[in-house]
A = this chain, B = another copy of it.
């Protein structure tokens, strides 16, 4: 039986020798007590996780495992990779139970872990498609079969239980699965790898949890095999499968967004544990391109429905944005790893942008329905769905929300770094300075005022680092101006001492890079880390969102809390409803003879946080509006 060795409960726990500048704090030591993120965690616990149980039953996803376990006899249902939905949901249960015990959630978890264990073959194989539909299929369709991808989520769930609850039973299942995979794929270079990355990041975590170096070696082996052009034929190209460039030489990020980002997270973890500089260099090259030319304002990734893929640089259509919720989650995972490795705030900045916008938009305010894609413009309507035939996103949302407190703060030899702000308690051990407890009080992200109180600490000097987001027009710590990055406060902290960070979260207008063709001549509204949008429902009667423009000579301003949207603050802005009647029958016109736009009717526009859209009505929505001038 594998021994669990990590004492830290978090979703990324680098080993003691890992090349990281920052280290995660035990998730049991971080409690988000109040505010938006606390609310999202509560909704996940009270609504979404239970809905997950219902929907996994309704869709037959759990039944598939029952058939594999010989407990049920009926036809398998759902996609080839549907087992992974169960594992992601289990991982969510693990973090959630670790966060706060729950007899109901524990019973669900125990029952399901027992089922998963029962479904596993004596040799460690576990995949209900193969076991139920076609035993001869095993390892024969690596390109599209998702066997290792599913196993990756099993491994992550096993690691999560070991860390969060101490229950090692699923970790044992995971190790048996990983051992078989190592046997089959570890030595033979011709054995290939999976068409959908995900196993790499999972194997590194399994290595961290068990200190079994075979798993790290296997992760490296599987990652290194990519880029050899093995996944030819069929609808998609090599890039889709992350098989066009080697992980050490990749210069550009592309192909299927979720595949690309899971792999990038795995590559970054591999660097952390192996110190192979080529891996980090490749990851940073790809991140630079992603963050400067392939990321939506919401942090969403994926410009193309075709292949659910990342487009060319600056190809960022708001209407046809794919921005799969899973891609947002994968990007949060990757940015967190880059942050640990480098300690650079730009990764925490992008994590924040993604978290509050392109990720949170994937779940309805009531926690009961989901978006798979997260466009920045909808001309007609888009309805959230209660589940999906490809149900990768809902349980992925659940595991991220259940582990959200892992992403708040880190430690280093110097002290504690706070990356994401929420009313929270943080307990951590600072090397050389002993246990520290911080109490953070803030109305963030709606308020920019963050009070950090040192509730307890030792006598030695240590540094409190507070992230100053790149979006902040101005920021002060204890009244002193600070620049974006980390404001560092090094001192012998005393109990009860406070630091107050003030960030300017006044609504602001945002311009896109002029090379982003699809939003030329447009502006958006942001407020602190929150991207805002406009919904047709908030327009004057009769006006169409297609005809609205924003004035840019006045600044948008707070307009009060919106009762219909859980009290989030609205933003008002001066706009006009353009009169385009002259164009009604004309699609293109000689420039010299073109219809002149009629005088637009000035109007007060209401903007709402992007992540709250499609919670009232299902009408038109857009983040970017044309400038009226």
Which residues of A pack against B, CB within 8 Å? 291-293, 295, 297, 304-306, 311-315, 317-320, 377, 379-380, 471, 473, 508-524, 546-547, 552, 578, 580, 583-594, 597, 626
- Interfacial chain B residues near A588, Cβ < 8 Å: 297, 510-513, 524
Known contacts being A304-B320, A509-B591, is A515 close to B580, with CB within 8 Å? Answer: yes
Say whether, besides A317-B317, A320-B317, A473-B590, A312 and B379 are in contact (CB < 8 Å).
yes
Known contacts A304-B305, A515-B580; A509/B587 CB under 8 A: no
* Chain B residues whose C-beta falls within 8 Å of the C-beta of A297 in the assembled complex: 588
- Interface contact B591-A510, CB-CB below 8 Å: yes
CB closest residue in chain B, given A523? B591
User: Are A315 and B319 neighbours in the complex by a CB distance under 8 Å?
Assistant: yes
Question: Contact partner of A508 among B546, B578, B590, CB < 8 A?
Answer: B590
Q: Which residue of chain B has its CB nearest to the CB of A380?
A: B312
- A-B pairs, 5 with minimum CB distance: A305-B306, A509-B591, A521-B521, A312-B379, A511-B591
User: Could you list some 21 contacts between A and B, CB below 8 A?
Assistant: A292-B587, A304-B305, A305-B306, A311-B319, A312-B319, A313-B379, A314-B546, A317-B317, A317-B320, A318-B517, A320-B320, A471-B590, A508-B590, A510-B590, A512-B588, A513-B588, A514-B626, A515-B546, A515-B583, A517-B626, A520-B521
CB-CB under 8 A from A379, the residues of chain B are 312-315
- CA gap between A513 and B588 in the complex, in Å: 6
Residues in chain B near residue A586, CB distance under 8 A: 292, 513
User: A518 CA to B379 CA in the complex, in Å?
Assistant: 13
Q: CB-nearest residue of chain B relative to A525? A: B591
In the complex, chain B residues whose CB is within 8 Å of the CB of A590: 471, 473, 508-511
Shortest Cβ distance from residue A323 to the other chain B in the assembled complex, whole angstroms: 14
Residues of B within 8 A of A292 (CB): 584-587
| B312 lies within 8 A of A511 (CB) | no
Separation of A593 and B484 alpha carbons in the complex (Å): 15
**Complexed CA–CA distance, A511 and B592 (Å):** 9
Other than A511-B590, A515-B580, A517-B519, give 17 A-B pairs with Cβ distance below 8 A.
Answer: A291-B587, A304-B305, A305-B305, A305-B306, A315-B319, A317-B317, A318-B517, A319-B517, A320-B320, A473-B590, A508-B590, A509-B591, A512-B587, A514-B626, A516-B587, A518-B518, A521-B521
